[in-house]
Structure 1
Amino acid sequence: MTESDQLSITIPKLHRLETSEPLYKTLPKIKTVDWKSSFSPMVHAMVSINEIQNGSVLLVTTMKNNTNGNLQTNEATSILIQLLKNSVSNKFQLCDSDRLNMACQILGISADNGLELLNNVVSLARYLDIQYVLYSIASGNVQYPYVNLQILLVNTGEIIWSMTSKSIF
């Protein structure tokens, strides 16, 4: 191969892009809900209900997200459960998670998202012979959600206690 047979490649000269705008946009800061502070007064009110006998078994559902965006509902549910476990009251015994998972498998309910659906939760509670269900819903604007907690009497499906609160950031 001779020099004249070789290919000649011309590389274009690169020009610098002149702009006053940054090449990337900064993401907005995500507000984090202070679930512990949001739930504490609600849990205090809940364990003070006179109509519920001490030691009653309670099934806590996964918080349902009815806001206009994404919300850390698993974290919220975990904190709610911890507050109930750590309350000085012996108002509620919480359903054991192993027992709950086994019942979910037997009844064909997804443990990941099936505990947001009230029908599934009531079926589970009846199967496990649990007296009460704590159903939680976040609603409104995801930046400032409202949280509603409801205690349902499993035998009748009646809401026997309910409280709504604005979340704390």
Structure 2
Amino acid sequence: MDYQSIPSRRNTVIEWSPIISNLVNKILKIDGIRADNILLIANAQNFTDVNLETTIVTMVIKESIKKNSFFTVVTPQQITLTKKILKISSEDNFFEMSKVMGLARYVRAQYLLSSSIEKERGSIYLNMQLILVKTGEIIWSGSCPVTID
């Protein structure tokens, strides 16, 4: 399946790959991050009134990170197993930051990548934050406008 252009119910098309690649390229330039660092990518959240498939956004983020072979990304299998061990429902999408941080610590991830789609002053943006799991400190944040055709 081609995730570059995904129509929503309103027949809008969003070109996710260039938006996400732009942000991921900025993450890769951060000093001190090594290729062997473990990264947990949290599910994207949609805080707009537009129908957007956040699972597609999350998938494109994961593909973009993996393509650059920079981080060791926590696999879906690791997440599923850890949910079982921690007695977290398999249906839980980890929208609560405390749960996501707990999972990241359990799998020994150094970093957590959080993303959200938000509407500000009538425009839509994809926002990302790279969080140092050990301290909870946001070490990088970026935003990119989303164009809806």
TM-score in terms of structure 2 length: 0.84
Letter in 2 for 1:91: F
Aligned residues: 139
Write the distance in 2 (CA, Å) between the matches of 1:119 and 1:44.
27
The structural deviation recorded for 1:48 is 1.4
Tell me, yes or no, if structure 1 residue 38 matches structure 2 residue 19.
yes
Write the distance in 1 (CA, Å) between the matches of 2:88 and 2:14.
29
SS at match of 1:109: coil
Query: What does residue 5 of structure 2 align with?
Result: none
* Residues 1:44 and 1:144: Cα distance change in structure 2 (over 3 Å): same
- Contact 1:47/1:92 (<8 A) preserved: no
Tell me, yes or no, if structure 1 residue 57 matches structure 2 residue 38.
yes
Write the distance in 2 (CA, Å) between the matches of 1:42 and 1:77.
13
* Residues 1:67 and 1:108: Cα distance change in structure 2 (over 3 Å): farther
Runs of 4+ in 1 over 4 A off after TM superposition: none
- Contact 1:58/1:132 (<8 A) preserved: yes
Query: What does residue 139 of structure 1 align with?
Result: 118
Trace 1:1-169 onto structure 2 (pairs within 5 A).
Answer: 29-87=10-68, 90-140=69-119, 144-169=123-148
Letter in 1 for 2:26: A
Write the distance in 2 (CA, Å) between the matches of 1:32 and 1:111.
31
**Structure 2: gaps (5+ residues):** 1-8
The structural deviation recorded for 1:113 is 4.2
RMSD after superposition = 1.9
Larger radius of gyration: 1
Write the distance in 1 (CA, Å) between the matches of 2:93 and 2:55.
13
Write the distance in 2 (CA, Å) between the matches of 1:58 and 1:118.
15
Structure holding more strand per residue = 2
The structural deviation recorded for 1:38 is 1.0
The structural deviation recorded for 1:119 is 1.1
